[in-house]
Amino acid sequence: QKEVEQDPGPLSVPEGAIVSLNCTYSNSAFQYFMWYRQYSRKGPELLMYTYSSGNKEDGRFTAQVDKSSKYISLFIRDSQPSDSATYLCAMENRDDKIIFGKGTRLHILP
Amino acid sequence: EAQVTQNPRYLITVTGKKLTVTCSQNMNHEYMSWYRQDPGLGLRQIYYSMNVEVTDKGDVPEGYKVSRKEKRNFPLILESPSPNQTSLYFCASRTTGGGLEKLFFGSGTQLSVL
């Protein structure tokens, strides 16, 4: 079983829809959970992070972590065409090593 | 402006011709790292450095070399490039203060080895 699994998509949704992106993981040593956003021809940028189970909200974005199920999610409300990008989940263990998911390509259709 | 600068952005070369991709950061970060990104395989770490003169292998180090003589620079060297090293390369840096530290990425270097 891979350490981090993420559906590569592509995922196409109409503008204004709620988007749900997910990752599962197998290593219970992960303690930090992150979402990076990568636009075409650009480097990834940190979008959100959390270190505990539960929800964290920032504007239209909500990150959710369920450590008991080893499952993390990113929700995007009122999705916009500018949200079209690849979203990578990432997880960090106590040794500072970050493992990235393969990324989900998201297309928001105007 | 805080940034990680990679050069060149695009590089086409031939098998066996040594090349260097430069990386520089202006944030005084201790940690620097190189990744390659391939379709279906995601981001994979090549080498990383926790500080000056300290480098370690990542997940896919074969065929690559790095050096960290100065804190701000972390060049990636391909002594004898091969077509399977055609990829999108990213340099990244962050502090090492313990806990979650934001990883800053460069804009990438698209390498094609013919």
The average pLDDT across A86-97 equals 87
In chain B, % of residues over pLDDT 70: 96
Tell me chain A's radius of gyration from C-alpha atoms: 13
- Residue B111 · residue B18 · CB < 8 Å: no
Predicted confidence at residue B102, as pLDDT, reads 84
Predicted confidence at residue A41, as pLDDT, reads 87
Taking the CA of residue B74 and the nearest CA in chain A, the distance in Å comes to 17
Q: Give B 67-106 residues with CB within 8 A of chain A.
A: 90, 92, 96, 99-100, 102-103, 105-106
Instruction: Look at A55 and B61; give whichever has higher pLDDT.
Output: B61
Taking the CA of residue A101 and the nearest CA in chain B, the distance in Å comes to 7
Q: Do B40 and A8 touch (CB under 8 A)?
A: yes
Q: Residue B4's closest chain A neighbor by CA?
A: A43
**Does residue A44 have a cis bond before it (omega within 30 degrees)?**
no
Instruction: Look at B1 and B22; give whichever has higher pLDDT.
Output: B22
| Burial class (CB within 10 angstroms; exposed 0-12, middle 13-18, buried 19+) of A54 | exposed
**Which among B111, B14, B94 has a CA at the least distance from the CA of A34?**
B94
Predicted confidence at residue B97, as pLDDT, reads 65
Predicted confidence at residue B98, as pLDDT, reads 61
The average pLDDT across B32-54 equals 94
A3 near B CB under 8 A = no
**Which among B16, B30, B18, B21 has a CA at the least distance from the CA of B87?**
B21
A2 near B CB under 8 A = no
Q: Do A98 and B105 touch (CB under 8 A)?
A: no
Tell me chain B's radius of gyration from C-alpha atoms: 13
Neighbours of A57 (CB within 10 A): 12
Q: Do A88 and B42 touch (CB under 8 A)?
A: yes
Q: Do A44 and B105 touch (CB under 8 A)?
A: yes
Predicted confidence at residue B2, as pLDDT, reads 83
pLDDT band at A98 (very low <50, low <70, confident <90, very high): confident
Instruction: Look at B89 and A2; give whichever has higher pLDDT.
Output: B89
CA distances from A72 to A64, A79, B83 (A): 6, 19, 36
In this structure, chain B runs to a length of 114
CA distances from B63 to B14, B50, B81, B106 (A): 15, 21, 7, 21
Q: Do B99 and A88 touch (CB under 8 A)?
A: no
Q: Do A46 and B42 touch (CB under 8 A)?
A: no
- Considering only CB atoms, B42 lies closest to which of A43, A46, A100, namely A100
For the cut 80, the answer to whether the pLDDT of residue A9 exceeds it is: yes
